[in-house]
Structure 1
Amino acid sequence: MVEVPLEKRMMTLDGINGVRKDVPAIHEVWKQTREWFPYLPPPSQQELVLTGAEDAWLVHGDQVEQDLVWLLRLPCHKFWSQLQFDPNLQRFLEGILQQFPREYDSSSSSSYTSSQIQIRNRDILHKLFLVFLRICTYKESASEFFSPEYYGTLIYEKYILDLPKIIDICSLFRPCNREITIKMVANVFKVQSRYCEDLFTTGESIGEALDNAEEQCQTLSMSLPSRKNVDGLFDLVGFLLDVSSSTYSLLDIFPGAGKPLQLAGFEMKLAGFYHSTILGVQQILERFVESEILTPEESTLCFFNLQISRHRSILAFRTIVEFNCLNPVMSETHCDKDEALEGFFSIFTTILQERTFLLDYNSRYSLQDDFDVFEQSGLNVDPTRKHYILDALCESSQGSGFSNVLTGEKEKKSSVTPTVETVPETGGATALTSSVLKPTEELDSLISSVRDMLPFLGEGFVEKCLEHYQFKVEEVVNAILEGNLAPHLASLDQSLERQAVEPKPVQAPRCIYDNDEFDVNSRDEIDLSRIHRGKKNKYGNAMKLLDDKTDINSMRDRFSALGIVSDIEVMVGEEREYEDEYDDTYDDVAVGQEEPDSRDDGGRQFVLPVALGGGKIPRVVQEKDDEDDDDEEDEEEGVFGRKPMNFARNPEEIRQENERRRQEKMSRNARKPAAQQQQQYQSARDVVGKPKGQGQDKQVLINRARKNANKGKGHRAGAERKQAKGMF
């Protein structure tokens, strides 16, 4: 006999007066009216001091447990009818999910002193887990089941399960029963794909919540530490812990959430949130501790929660990277591995500015190891982009006091040689850390930070742990709390004391006057005449300075060796006379002018090439009239046949010449009307002419030719002037 799903099954109902009728298996008629007792968190240590507080909570907790037991004992069709048509039941279950303490709350200062409270709370959690296990399963037995399509529509449309509840389920049930929780959540996402679409919106909503937390952190950082701001600080620390733990729990139980979260850019926001908000709150907390506003218990609790928040933020980020980038490469399925590599480059290139997060992430999950995975899988890793990321990480490590943790890369030269050790990490990753020598004062501060949170540890044991974990307090605390210490550290006595180190004697630096003739500490008498303040005057007076020709003689010897200067001295009588005979070897050649035979009188005139700075218009050489007298030529020409340059003209002649030019210009312009002058000026400058295809005037063609001929003439003239001055 083939069983019919519950949504299609009819059940017999005994009505009033013994009348029996058939009704659907999932119907409001099966719902029972019941009052549900809301769950209350266990009382804190301060509340347990009150008389009757423990008994009152135990009685209330017993009522909550009885409600859950009654719900579990219902048959399948009545259970789902009650769940679907009783809105108070959904609020009751939702309240327990929200109010029940998380696993990180059990280790806080609000831990329970009564064993009865712990037992009762554990029983409530167990019953709640069974209820949601029944809700997340569409097939209880071979005869009690839903069709997957109807079940997926039911839990989604009736809001029996939504993403906030799923996140609470992951966060609450992951520590107690991780394997079954993974199957529960995977079954829900399998039968209803619309939850995956909601994950994208959830990522954006969590990102907005992270931005709001950053604004609150900035507001709190601008205010002075005071007792009235303590509640705001506690709320902010609690939010950081809750959002990081919830996000990590969701990704740990359902890694497939990494894909829609990456599409929403959640991993980028998480890295920025870590760098700005979590570390910002930690700095604010340190200010409160320095101001002695917080008690030791409060500061220890806040620091502990912040370390957990940092740790789980990195784990959540790693899960997204593994699911989207590393798992496709290591899997045997046919997927786009190049796309996974490109996604890996895109993620870490974007978060390079989040230096603190990148350093903490690399200390736990080495980026060099990830690149080795890509290379071993046969992918072509771009070396330029790879070294860009690794070099930025190396610079960040040096700038922040961290050492270089990149294997296979060239280490920077430094005065301290790090010792590299291989440290096994959880999650299948191996991080390479190195020890860095720290100053004594800084090391004492780090040891005190660890012992403030874990006072039962010895200073010697803490020092060895810090050396192994790269002097990171949060890593040491997490490793101790999680029981994940390296083997050589786990075998040590945790109460080990610190060994005293004898300080090395400091050698005094040598003084300027150390046992010489001017040392006043070792001599009683000093020759003051040998002490001179300022520069000494080598010459007695100015005449001695002018008569000193040492520099001139040295220059003369240098030029004589080069053969540039030739001095000839001849004896005339009894006196020496300097003879410098004029050399007229090249007087016949017109230096800088045209050669006489460079062209024929009847041929084409010489034109200087354009490449050498000449134009297309030949130079006009004005030949002198043969009728000029020799006397005039002698006056106009110099010794070498060229007209001497007049460096100092008479200003009166210059003014007369300028006046003559002005008068000529005015006389030319007076003959034509102003309109004609303007038209003539425009026509002489017109290079545009008529539209294309209508022909051009001769003057336009001439203007165009003139413009092309003179184009760049000013640049050439300027270059010639610079060259003449020896500028290049």
Structure 2
Amino acid sequence: MVFAACENDKNLPLNELMILLDEDGVKRSIPALNEQWKDSRIFTRYSSFPIRSIDGLVDECASLDQWISEIGWFIKDMEGLLGLEHFRFWSTLVYNRGAIESVISFTQAAVPYYLAGVIRSSPSVFPLYSAAHRATLQVICRMITQKESDRCWISREFMGDLLYKHYLISIPLLFDLLSVYGRDNKQVLTLMFQTIFKLQPKYGQDLKVGLKFLQTTFKTIQQQIETDRIEGNVVSSARLNDLAIYAMDCCTILALLMECHPECRWICSELELEQSITSFYDNTIVLLYKNIHAMDNESPYLTYLNSARMELLSAFRGIVNFQLETILDKPERSLVPADKSLCILTECLSDPVFVKDYQRHYPVERDLDVIKQACRNVDTFKLDFVQQAYCGEDEENGFLNGHKEAAIPEDDDSFGEACGGVLEEEVVEEAGPTAAVEETLSSDQLIERNVQKVLDVLPHLGDGYVRKIICRYENVEQAIAAVLEGNLPPDLIEADPTEPYIPPDKLDTNYLETGIDRLNIYDGDEFDVMVHDEIKGVMKKGKGMPGQPKNLKEMLDDKSHVQEMKSRYQDYTNVCDEYDDEYDDSFDAMAESESKSVRLTAAMRNALVDELDDDEDDDEPEDDSGQPVGKKPLDFCENPELVRQRYEEKRRSKFQAKHGGGVATGPDKDVVGKAKGQGQDKSVLLNRKHKAENKSSRANHNRKQGATFKRNKGMIPS
């Protein structure tokens, strides 16, 4: 360290002050904020003391002695910073990065204020930790002090840039201060926030980013818990306790931030942080409480979670109060904040547990009265809806959102106990036909009915496993929700989901009731004559059954089956003939009208007349003398000879129309030639050769085999 005298007779700020340095007779002026004046020591970083994992108290072991030695050096470093001159203090902070890192290490590793009881339990840790706790806060307070005396001061603009550009003060550091120093130093923290945001307005943008990160943290904790539930992982108690402390830390930071720096509420309203608060309250805090309570109902972490719930309610109240204060400060512009308040209260109705606790501690009817009086143009429909949802008309409960109201506790501790008892929603169902039916059912029948309801939704589960779940929860909805969310007690998680239900043996039940051990297939059922005076069924004595024939003669003489068959076939005669002749007339008229709309040419008309004549001639057969006789009934199968004849005539007529008559295909295409043994012309031989060479170019080969195949299959008449 270089020693020099600082004489500030003109009361200049640190950024304008020059210090005269005399080295071996050589004098030169150096700025007061310079690396020349820094303290070059190596600053000690703070580390947390050892803690036992069983009960969370201080572990009195060899590591504790090392911690005591290190914290002693840490306290000396903080006191050394406080003892430096003004220009040396700031030069050390700016040019010796280890100094500010040492301060930040304590805020990051220190114990939160709500765990101070752990420190007080150890007499060897408490005094040293208290000294470090106090010295670190004094160093930070000196860092934000603009004027220590008339000669030791810094201009506001320069100090704001110095803190911001060199990262001496940051939003994460402020969040850690809220968690470490908490409500015991609330006034100091409030003054600190006011000073910092006045010195450098840029911290406002950083605060917005920090609140976004806090909002993301809420979602991360919620997703982590939901992932474990979906995958069916059995979460350890240590993991649940860590999540509870983490949630408590986030909730405390948010609530204290709104109390120490109320100006941040408009940023929270802009980010819609109230929705994240209500969702985190209902889906994360409540679930953590249930899981920890299921493992250890006397765990101290349940108290931390109840405190976290109070912090979230306080933070939500701060956002709502910001809108109400805006309404009261500017009544002429109260429509927008009034509508915003109603929207906030309406959107959080989807989180019933939060709504119930908020209404218990901060009655909404007071806020609604303020909105009614200050804003005359507010939407009355929204106002009435919110009032009905929160307040209702029940004087006894004061809240009719589908929940029962518990007694309002006086303080925060009783609130934690009350919340532990009402975490699970108690839904008030309207009495109706279903309730009346369930009252008439026995307990076994009701359980069987509930089991069937669960199996309709989750058919892959076993009957025995579902019965265990039904017996553990109050209604079917809670049982199904617990299975789907994976939020089952540890013993049910380890059970076999496909376990079947084996009903109790009636013999064992009968033995327990009567004390008589009998081995009979009818023991205890409706056929047991030893238990029932009147039994079901028919008591058979001798051969045959009552009402049946006694011998073969009676059986053959019995004609009762004839009467049964007669009565059965009698039903087939009851057929009503409802034929309507109008249908044929209408059909003929329609066909006639359609035929008139078709115009035929002369050639088509002549062809149609010839076809009709042929049909009439074919339809009127004649006898041997040539006289027509009456119409014969249609044959079951047409005469194949007539079919072949008609087909041959049709083929011959088509061939004649195409080639002009004759059997031959022409001199150039004749392949038939003369009869066998009479010799063939040269042209016939050439045509045959040409046909044999080119018959594969067209699909006219193998026609006889294809026709035979079709005829055998009934595709063409034979």
Which bin holds the TM-score, normalised by the shorter protein?
A: 0.5 to 0.7
Match of 2:42? 35
Structure 2 distance, partners of 1:2, 1:19, is 24
Deviation at 1:56, TM superposition (A): 3.5
* Per-residue CA distance 1:250-296 (angstroms, 9 max, x = gap): 1121111111122112221111111111111112223333xxxxxx7
How many angstroms apart in 2 are the aligned matches of 1:14 and 1:51?
53
Alignment pair present for 1:25 and 2:18: no
Conserved 8 A contact 2:277-2:316: yes
Partner Cα separation in structure 2 for residue 163 and residue 18 of structure 1: 47
- Displacement after TM superposition at 1:654 (Å): 6.0
**2:276 maps to amino acid:** K
**Conservation of the 8 A alpha-carbon contact between 1:36 and 1:64:** yes
Structure 2: unaligned runs, 5 residues or longer: 1-8, 427-576, 603-718
Q: CA RMSD in A?
A: 3.7
Sort the Cα spacing of 1:185 and 1:654 in 2 relative to 1 into closer, same or farther, 3 A: closer
* 1:84 alignment partner, SS class: helix
CA distance in 1, matches of 2:267, 2:170: 16
Equivalents in 2 of 1:65, 1:317: separation in Å? Answer: 39
Q: What residue number does 1:98 align with? A: 108
1:303 aligned onto 2:283? no
Indicate yes or no: 2:156 matched with 1:152. no
Residue 203 of structure 2 aligns to a residue whose secondary structure is helix
Quick check: 2:334–2:375 contact (8 Å CA) kept in 1?
Answer: no
Shift of 1:48: 5.4
> What is the CA-CA distance between 1:82 and the residue it aligns to?
0.7
Alignment equivalent of 1:325, drawn from 323, 326, 338: 323
Paired residue for 1:250, among 241, 257, 261? Answer: 257
SS in 1 for 2:116: coil
Out of 567, 592, 595, the position equivalent to 1:666 is 595
Distance 1:215 1:419, change over 3 A: closer
**1:83-482 paired onto structure 2 within 5 Å:** 83-107=93-117, 110-222=118-230, 226=234, 229-289=236-296, 299-322=298-321, 324-331=322-329, 336-377=333-374, 379-393=376-390, 404-405=397-398
> Distance in 2 between the 1:171 and 1:159 partners?
20
Contact 1:167 1:246 in 2 (8 A): yes
Distance (whole Å) between structure 2 residues aligned to residue 261 and residue 412 of structure 1: 27
Matches within 5 A, 1:498-577: none
1:336/1:139 CA distance change after superposition, 3 Å: farther
In structure 2, relative to structure 1, the CA distance for the partners of 1:78 and 1:667 (3 Å cut) is same
Letter in 2 for 1:263: E
Take 1:316 and 1:424, find their aligned partners in 2: how far apart are those partners? Answer: 20
| 3-state SS of paired residue (1:22) | strand
- 1:186 positional shift: 0.5
- The structure-2 alpha-carbon separation of the partners of 1:104 and 1:425, relative to structure 1 and needing over 3 Å to count, comes to closer
Q: Which amino acid aligns with 2:143?
A: I
Residues 335 and 375, structure 2, Cα contact 8 Å, conserved in 1: no
Indicate the residue corresponding to 2:546 in structure 1: none
Structure 1 segment 543-622 matched on structure 2, within 5 A: none
Q: Distance in 2 between matches of 1:672 and 1:96?
A: 111
State the shift of 1:49 in Å.
Answer: 5.6
C-alpha distance in structure 2 between counterparts of 1:199 and 1:21, whole Å:
43
Assess, with a 3 A threshold, how the Cα gap between structure 1 residues 144 and 335 changes in structure 2: closer, same or farther: farther
Q: CA deviation at 1:334?
A: 7.3
Give, as a single letter, the amino acid of the residue that structure 2 aligns with 1:21. Answer: R
Q: Contact 1:170–1:253 (CA<8 Å) still a contact in 2? A: no
Residue 392 of structure 1 and its aligned partner are, at CA, apart by 2.4
Q: Is the 8 A contact 2:179 2:253 kept in 1?
A: yes
Equivalent residue letter for 1:170:
L
- 1:338 deviates by 2.5
- Structure 1 position 37, deviation (Å): 1.4
Rg larger in 1 or in 2? 2
Query: Residue 171 of structure 1 contacts residue 250 of structure 1 at CA under 8 Å; is this kept in 2?
Result: no
Comparing 49-58 with 147-156, greater Cα deviation is found at: 49-58
Q: Is the 8 A contact 1:167 1:249 kept in 2?
A: no
- Counterpart of 2:327, as a letter, is V
Q: Cα offset for 1:80?
A: 0.9
The normalised TM-score by structure 2 is 0.55
- Please give the alpha-carbon distance, in whole angstroms, between the structure 2 residues aligned to 1:202 and 1:413: 37
State how far apart, in whole Å, the 1-side matches of 2:276 and 2:401 are: 32
1:188 to partner: Cα distance: 0.5
Aligned-partner SS, 1:11: strand
- SS of structure 1 residue aligned to 2:11: coil
User: In structure 1, how many angstroms separate the alpha carbons of the residues matched to 2:592 and 2:375?
Assistant: 90
State the one-letter code of the partner of 1:315: S
Partner residue, 2:513: none
Deviation at 1:75, TM superposition (A): 1.1
Distance 1:233 1:653 in 2: 85
Q: Does 1:69 align with 2:79?
A: yes
CA distance in 2, matches of 1:134, 1:326: 37
Alignment size in residue pairs: 434
Q: Please list the CA deviations of residues 13-61 of structure 1 after superposition, one character each: whole Å capped at 9, or x if unmatched.
A: 233x242211111111111211111112233367856455554433322
Q: Secondary structure at the match of 1:303?
A: helix
SS of the counterpart of 2:148? coil
1:647-726 to structure 2, matched below 5 A, reads 655=584, 658-659=587-588, 662-663=591-592, 665-671=594-600
**Judging changes above 3 Å, is the alpha-carbon distance between structure 1 residues 38 and 390 closer, same or farther for their aligned structure 2 residues?**
same
Q: Letter of the aligned partner of 1:320 in structure 2? A: I
Give the TM-score normalised by structure 1. Answer: 0.54
Output one character per residue of 1:635-676: Cα deviation in whole Å (capped at 9) or x when no partner.
xxxxxxxxxxxxx99966863674355335424422589xxx
Tell me the distance in 1 between the aligned counterparts of 2:105 and 2:192.
20
Question: Is this contact kept in 1: 2:279–2:351, CA < 8 A?
Answer: yes
> Partner residue of 1:60?
70
**CA distance, structure 2, for counterparts of residue 310 and residue 419 of structure 1:** 16
Q: Give the Cα separation in 1 of the matches to 2:582 and 2:71.
A: 121
* Contact kept in structure 2, 1:137 and 1:184, CA below 8 Å: no
Contact 1:328 1:335 in 2 (8 A): no
2: CA distance, partners of 1:653 / 1:206: 84
Tell me: CA distance 1:320–1:18, structure 2 relative to 1, closer, same or farther (3 Å): farther
Q: Distance in 1 between matches of 2:113 and 2:262?
A: 21
Corresponding residue for 1:620? none
CA–CA distance in structure 1, aligned partners of residues 176 and 578 of structure 2: 101
Q: Percent of pairs identical after alignment?
A: 21
Q: 1:140 to 1:335 in 2, by over 3 A?
A: farther
Match in the other structure for 1:564: none
Separation (CA, whole Å) in 2 of partners of 1:153 and 1:654 = 101
SS at match of 1:14: strand
CA distance in 2, matches of 1:270, 1:664: 79
Residue segments in structure 1 that go unaligned for 5+ positions in a row = 290-295, 443-647, 674-728
